Structure 1
């Protein structure tokens, strides 16, 4: 973000913020869709031409897109994994929303501070973001612990170097639109495995560490830590991690529906390897809960909750302040 676009930063002489009209935004979106569609079409044509070459065809025969899991790997998706999936989705959506609000908010409605430490304060939006982070971390700790206790870790942690050529093979299959037909109930394809591993064991810890660095609870006098992870670097990594999660969620949801929606939703929500509407019904119910949480995440609801954990001062003249 340019200096001229950041609140509280003096813009250099001659700098100005360029605001697009609604028509211009529509034009940008249309051009973007056309460009992305054209690029996607070229990728598909190129991939189809590539897999028609004998050496590549032989490569796909030798590497079908997945490798055998270690002996004793569990089969199926237990109910606890479905619940963890729902809790994680619920929290990460609200975390992304509140994080975006933190970046865009110019005039906080209220401030939260620990009891007895009113000089240390943060906006209500930042408090909500951090509170969600704590719940998300706790949920993640339980999830990882259950992964290793149950043996489900073998499905998302690579256990063979074969993961890389098989991931390339799976990527080629996706690019040709002749998508892998592997059974996620038993084993994910190697490309899925790499992305799940990256999300759980790289992106999530990166979000946690950089989020802690940006918070008021980070030790400001820890010079060595601050040199290892400068504030500006942490902020950039935190934003790019958020973008990674957004892209991952979009692709994940799209593929769930494009590669056998009913069966995939039954795997994720109903813990059964069948094709019926049970998982879809639970999925719709989870969307209702998510929508309710989204609607409830407003100052009128958050302020009483925040007061249970500290002091809240409503800013005079804010919309919340005028209703008191």
Structure 2
């Protein structure tokens, strides 16, 4: 249990710093899944954007670049922050499982689990003792006093599971497959807010716990924590404990610098553990969302500025009457379809929740062609494994980056019941800001996979020959994971 104690410290710090990197991408917290721009309950940014602003703004404008001193790795690296977070959470949960197994097999649970209601008033008395600048002694035949026992119980058996449960309630695949589960927390944004408050609770516990260690005597407490006994060599325990903390700080300095200077290598190394985790969730879950019209959000954020190329501007000026969607690659029947031809393939309407990778959500009604109908029309060849959706959006002109926006999607996602080529939004043709004339909807995925302003679709055997070979523009340039189920 000594080892699991230090591993818990190690992983919790990784989770906290990487979690702050994720929060920096949308540093606002809401109680409503509509995410009203001007009404967060908490805002960690000086930026304020109004829904009726005369100037078009996007959710990326709300992002902050927090210092690498607090965020891992910092400096607007959401993709890498998510990699660190989801890699770490797997090992943290495993460490917790091992710790609980040891707690119950060794009988240590008796020192953690309250067995009498008297523990609660005794804890209050213990706190009062500390406030009088006196040390509180342990309970009879137990190593902890009442306040310690109660706080350890809350952290181990309540707070840690609470963080896992609220974290799962933010996954788009979980939200889509189990809408009722997320509603247990009042929606994704309440779960996100509660998850943040759980982080604050962990931080508060750590500060108080550290203060108590100092108050009770560092050598004595480190001997117990490191060597397992208050009677052990206190100098040795103190030396080992301080060395461990020094190595922990050094490790964080090294991984932060490595992540910032070798972002592609970090993406690949962490992806070895993160991508299979996300892939299992994406493959196994099917959206079962059925929101009502009264759930539709009054404001739906824009993510990414519309294309500014002459070809797109010409099509938009003519109401997209000359728009043609080219669908080819590894298919038996390549086709080029206009909007009227697309509509004749069929129409499917659905009211679903959009989950942006930055953290905001919104509900809208989408209508368009089931992607399964498109597959039936073009008949992908046996070698085809992915569909690559290209956009009119040239990022060199809209974001100062390189390349045309694209995303690759495994074919099994295109056969999901709520996977569509969306042509309409909220009973009207798609607006330019939200992807006109065509965007895709994949309701178990994060928003960056749902390409807007679609210009062409290509079926391929391997996406590694496209762009920088990572599977999409965000993956290429912002080091996102190619899997997008969490």
Find 2:138's aligned residue among 179, 182, 194.
Answer: 182
Query: What is residue 87 of structure 2 aligned with on the other side?
Result: 131
Supply the distance in 2 between the matched residues of 1:95 and 1:226 (Cα, whole angstroms): 22
Q: Residues 83-162 of structure 1: matches in 2 within 5 Å?
A: 83-105=3-25, 106=63, 123-162=79-118
Distance 1:235 1:307, change over 3 A: closer
SS in 1 for 2:174: coil
Q: Compute the displacement of 1:169 (Å).
A: 1.6
Supply the distance in 1 between the matched residues of 2:137 and 2:128 (Cα, whole angstroms): 13
Task: After superposing the two structures, state which structure 1 stretch, 94-103 or 160-169, moved more.
Answer: 160-169
Query: What is residue 47 of structure 1 aligned with on the other side?
Result: none
Supply the distance in 1 between the matched residues of 2:9 and 2:122 (Cα, whole angstroms): 28
Supply the distance in 2 between the matched residues of 1:172 and 1:125 (Cα, whole angstroms): 41
Query: What is residue 241 of structure 2 aligned with on the other side?
Result: 283
Q: Compute the displacement of 1:233 (Å).
A: 1.1
The answer as to 2:122 corresponding to 1:202 is: no
Find 1:305's aligned residue among 266, 269, 277.
Answer: 269
SS in 2 for 1:277: helix
Q: Which has the higher helix share?
A: 1
Residue by residue over 1:2-35, the C-alpha shift from the partner in whole angstroms, topping out at 9 and shown as x without a partner, is xxxxxxxxxxxxxxxxxxxxxxxxxxxxxxxxxx
Query: What is residue 484 of structure 2 aligned with on the other side?
Result: none
Q: Compute the displacement of 1:223 (Å).
A: 2.5
Q: Compute the displacement of 1:289 (Å).
A: 2.6
Query: What is residue 59 of structure 2 aligned with on the other side?
Result: none
Query: What is residue 222 of structure 1 aligned with on the other side?
Result: 178
Distance 1:316 1:236, change over 3 A: closer
Q: Are the counterparts in 2 of residues 185 and 267 from structure 1 also a CA contact under 8 Å?
A: no
Q: Compute the displacement of 1:225 (Å).
A: 1.8
Find 1:234's aligned residue among 179, 191, 198.
Answer: 191
After TM superposition, the score normalised by the length of structure 1 is 0.64
The answer as to 2:477 corresponding to 1:315 is: yes
- Count the aligned residue pairs: 225
Supply the distance in 2 between the matched residues of 1:85 and 1:184 (Cα, whole angstroms): 24
The answer as to 2:206 corresponding to 1:245 is: no
Q: CA RMSD in A?
A: 2.6
Query: What is residue 292 of structure 1 aligned with on the other side?
Result: 250
Question: Greater relative contact order (Cα 8 A, min sep 6): structure 1 or 2?
Answer: 1
Task: After superposing the two structures, state which structure 1 stretch, 272-281 or 238-247, moved more.
Answer: 272-281
Distance 1:184 1:244, change over 3 A: farther
Q: Compute the displacement of 1:224 (Å).
A: 1.9
Q: Compute the displacement of 1:222 (Å).
A: 2.1
Q: Compute the displacement of 1:272 (Å).
A: 2.3
Supply the distance in 2 between the matched residues of 1:289 and 1:216 (Cα, whole angstroms): 36
Q: Are the counterparts in 1 of residues 222 and 234 from structure 2 also a CA contact under 8 Å?
A: no
Q: Compute the displacement of 1:284 (Å).
A: 1.6
Q: Compute the displacement of 1:184 (Å).
A: 11
Distance 1:107 1:123, change over 3 A: farther
Query: What is residue 121 of structure 2 aligned with on the other side?
Result: 165
Supply the distance in 2 between the matched residues of 1:174 and 1:282 (Cα, whole angstroms): 28
Q: Compute the displacement of 1:161 (Å).
A: 1.9
Q: Compute the displacement of 1:282 (Å).
A: 1.4
Query: What is residue 222 of structure 2 aligned with on the other side?
Result: 265
Instruction: Specify the structure having the higher radius of gyration (Cα).
Output: 2
Q: Which has the higher strand share?
A: 2
Q: Are the counterparts in 2 of residues 95 and 129 from structure 1 also a CA contact under 8 Å?
A: yes
Structure 1: runs of 5+ lacking an equivalent: 1-80, 109-121, 318-324
Residue by residue over 1:273-307, the C-alpha shift from the partner in whole angstroms, topping out at 9 and shown as x without a partner, is 22621111111221133123312142426223124
After TM superposition, the score normalised by the length of structure 2 is 0.43
Q: Residues 43-62 of structure 1: matches in 2 within 5 Å?
A: none
Q: Are the counterparts in 1 of residues 182 and 191 from structure 2 also a CA contact under 8 Å?
A: no
